């Protein structure tokens, strides 16, 4: 397994491992994007005390589905490639936005006002971290 961390393997507030779709082309590019996204949100996760066991690339049949948070952070699934075009990738900022959206689900289930307020807050935090 691959530890996506800039803070050492004993920091619990991070993404523990990530997994690209090996059967798709450009798997190494997918892996690089997952690694970059997980490193980017690391400081935020530490501040918020959020943990994610696995960040996994997925390519769902539903073209509108961009991400999924399973059991409040046990697993986050991210769509890296546009529907109908698995050879290409979404821009990094798009995937990072999806990751932030899914991280909010660690705390808030429904897409209500509190959800979007927290999403705005953490988006600003991550932009500041950059």
Query: pLDDT tens, 103-114?
Result: 999 999 999 999
Q: What is the mean pLDDT of residues 85-111?
A: 97
Q: Among 50, 32, 8, 49, which residue's Cα sits nearest to residue 18? A: 32
Express as a percent the part of the chain with pLDDT over 70.
92
pLDDT at 99 over 60: yes
Active-site residue flag, 17: no
Main-chain phi, psi angles of 29, to 5 degrees:
-70, -40
pLDDT (0 to 100) of residue 10: 66
| Tokens at 48, concatenated | 């918020």
130: confidence class by pLDDT, cuts 50, 70, 90:
confident
Question: Catalytic pick from 20, 102, 125, 127?
Answer: 102
């Amino acid at each position: 397994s691959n530890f996506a961390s800039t803070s050492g393997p004993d920091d619990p507030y991070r993404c523990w491992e990530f997994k690209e779709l090996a059967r798709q082309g450009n798997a190494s590019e997918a892996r690089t994007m997952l690694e970059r996204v997980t490193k980017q949100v690391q400081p935020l996760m530490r501040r918020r005390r959020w943990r994610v066991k696995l960040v996994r690339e997925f390519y769902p049949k539903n073209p509108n589905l961009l991400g999924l948070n399973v059991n409040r952070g046990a697993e986050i699934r991210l769509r890296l490639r546009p529907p109908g075009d698995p050879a290409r990738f979404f821009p990094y900022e798009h995937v990072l936005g999806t990751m932030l959206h899914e991280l909010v689900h660690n705390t808030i289930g429904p897409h209500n006002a509190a959800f979007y307020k927290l999403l705005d807050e953490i988006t600003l935090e991550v932009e500041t971290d950059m």
